[in-house]
Amino acid sequence: MKNRKTTERFELILSYVLLIGVALSAFLIFLGIILSYLQPLPVHHDIPSMLKSGTGFSGYKILALGFLLLLATPILRVIFSFFLFLLYRDWTYTLISFLVLLILIASIILGGLGGKAIGP
């Protein structure tokens, strides 16, 4: 970062990404909890199959969407950090953000495989 004003603007943008992500996910989780009390329990127990089942919005789908958004918020922060560091030409932190993003992507892919990529 070159000067204090640029640093403050950078921090403000990143704080808004976190604030909006957490506030929206909290709202969806709260709404999902309220609506889930009005409906019977879902047949599916994992988030991907719950989101794929049916076309209507249920309390459980809204709740799952809120949790997914809560998990995605820090990842979005890393993505925004990468592009903002790139925009401000801070190459050291651009590289660090890129490496963190690669680690996050690798962990999501390996986690989605359920450990099948590591061994028998």
Give the domain ranges of the chain: 4-112
Q: Who contacts 111 (Cβ-Cβ below 8 Å, separation ≥6)?
A: none
Distance CA 52, CA 44 (A): 10
Q: What is the pLDDT of residues 20-72, one digit of tens each?
A: 999 999 999 999 888 888 876 655 656 666 656 665 667 778 888 888 888 88
CA 12-86-3 angle, 5° bins: 55
Categorize the per-residue pLDDT at 3 as very low, low, confident or very high, splitting at 50, 70 and 90.
confident
